[in-house]
Amino acid sequence: MFGLLLVAAETYAWVVLVLDYFQTLWPLNRQPVSMPIPLDQCPSVDLLVPTYNEPLSVVKPTIYAALGIDWPKEKLNVYLLDDGSREEFREFAASVGVNYVVRPTHEHARAGNINHALRTRCRSDFVSIFDCDHVPTRAFLQMTIGWFIKDTKLEMMQTPHHFFSLDPFERNLGCFRRTPNESSLFYGLVQDGNDTWDAAFFCGSCAVLHRTALDEIGGISVETVTEDAHTSLRLHRRGCTSAYILIPQVAGLATESLSAHIGQRILWARGMVQIFRLDNPLFGEGLKWAQRLCYANAMLHFLSGIPRLIFLLAPLAFLLCHAYIIYASALADRHLHAAAYAVYQPDQLAHSGSLAPLLLERGV
């Protein structure tokens, strides 16, 4: 039993490693496309900023930056989606001239909040979604919309999540700006590699989606807690094309506490496992084989805690149960015995049933 568990853990690690190499084999490094049409002919965009219990001081910079995006004002509609129904947010929205949206019920959390706005208020050609603590740059739409005009089959464009504040590990270990954090791996290499295989994921923020494609799949997915990845999976199943530009167009706040950081990762893990169970990318129609592998690897990544526990606890099988879960080959065994003869007397080795107990007895 111990041996089979260890083999399963090693097999998992090997499979994920191979899939990682496949994902990052050829980063596309897509470059922005300049707007091929005059600004007065640009498509209309609904920019959504969903909130729930965040303080107004965090939301204000995002709204101000959204209003300053370089886009025709009559073609840009900013919506503050307040799922907490707070009066101070209503007053702020009225004071700066943005649309304020609340809903009578609060089902499906963030995804339900966005879908309510899409059904009741939004009518533009494109939808852009920002977390309330992600401040967009002035050129965000000009850096992204150009690709939609060049490639009429493109339905989703994602940009990196860039954080200007320290996460708990960077704060406590003092490695900020000296050691890349985990988001640099995903947004700097994995997503760029996914773009090669037309498998760039929607990450919930800093993205632009075509409204018609969203309508075709019924809006943002509500079946899992990671509605962003599930939405992009459903888009790809319908044959939609996605893209990724490795140029940060947003600055956001990282998680402030260790509990919030771990809670966020647990949420991602729960959602990916839910997708893997309910809408497994390895099965079903609509996905290319490369897309299936990229999605599967993203979901398998969040199961890595189980093999790590097996690796850490595997030595206990011998220490506590005296179970030999790894046997050396005949060639390796011969070399070990030859080396042991240089340390132990031949008669001691001959009377020992195994080399390992003897070594442990002598403190080796």
Q: Just list the catalytic residues.
A: 83, 228
Strand pairing category for 76-82 and 45-51: parallel
Taking the C-alpha atoms of residue 221 and residue 225, their distance in angstroms, rounded to an integer, is 9
Helix (H/G/I), strand (E/B), else coil: 299? helix
Report residue 107 as tokens: 């089902």
Biggest distance spanned by C-alpha atoms of the chain: 94
Q: Say which DSSP state 163 is in.
A: B
* Residue 134 backbone dihedrals phi, psi, to 5 degrees: -105, 115
Q: 252 - beta bridge partners?
A: 134, 163
**Could you give the angle at the alpha carbon of 248 between the alpha carbons of 126 and 295, nearest 5°?**
70
Smallest CA-to-CA distance from 252 within 133, 158, 80, 137 is with 133
Rg (CA), the chain: 26
> Closest by alpha carbon to 139, among 70, 217, 237?
70
Beta-carbon contacts of 128 under 8 Å, excluding residues fewer than 6 positions away, are 45, 46, 47, 48, 140, 141, 207, 208, 209
